[in-house]
Amino acid sequence: MHVIKKMLNADVLCGADRLDTEVTSGFGCDLISDSLCFARPGCLLLTGLTNVQIIRLAEMVEARAIVFVRGKKPGEDVIKLAREKGLPLLATDLFLFESCGILYQAGLRSS
C-alpha cells in the first residue's frame, strides 16, 4: 500500500498504520452491485462512491483498502466506520481510469 499511495500521490484518510498490507488485485467501479459481484477478497477497491455503503461493501467482499478517486473525500461518519473496521482509506485527485491504468502498468491485476 505504501507503493500505491506514492504512485497515486494519495492522501491517507485513515489506517496509516496498516499501509504495510499487501493487496492481491484491484477493482475499479462506481456501482455497488458490480463491485459486490466482481471484486475479490484481498483486493484494492478504487471508486468515486463516498457514502457509507462502500465501507459495508468492502467488508463484505473482503477488500483490503479503498482509494477514493477524482478528489472525492467521504464524510467523517464514513471514515469513522472504516477506522472501526480497520480498513485503510486513501484519496487521490486522479480519475478512476488513470488510477487503474497506473496500477495496472505497475503489475496489479484483476483477480
Partner 1 sequence: MQLKFQVKGMDFSRAGQAATKIKKALQLAGMDPATIRKTIIIAYEAEMNIVIHAYHGTLTANITPHKVEIIAEDEGPGIPDIPLAMQEGYSTAPPHIREMGFGAGMGLPNIKKSADELDIQSEVNKGTKLWAAVFNN
Residues that bind partner 1 (CB under 8 A): 30-34, 36-37, 47, 49, 51-54, 56-57, 59-60, 77
Q: Of 68, 66, 67, 63, whose CA–CA distance to 40 is shortest? A: 63
Tell the smallest beta-carbon distance from residue 97 to partner 1 (Å).
17
- The bridge status of strand 89-91 relative to strand 43-47 is unpaired
The smaller minimum CB distance to partner 1, of residues 58 and 65, is found at: 58
The three-class DSSP label of residue 78 is: helix
* Least distance CB 64 / partner 1 (angstroms): 17
Partners of 46 in beta bridges: 28, 67
Q: In angstroms, what is the minimal distance from the CB of 9 to partner 1? A: 25
Q: Are strands 25-28 and 89-91 parallel, antiparallel or unpaired?
A: unpaired
Nearest distance from residue 56's CB to partner 1, in Å? 4
Count of Cβ atoms closer than 10 Å to residue 57 Cβ: 20
Instruction: Give the residue with the Cβ less far from partner 1, 33 or 105.
Output: 33
Q: For partner 1, give the closer residue by CB, 19 or 70.
A: 70
Q: Which is nearer to partner 1, 1 or 44 (CB)?
A: 44
Q: Which amino acid is at 75?
A: G
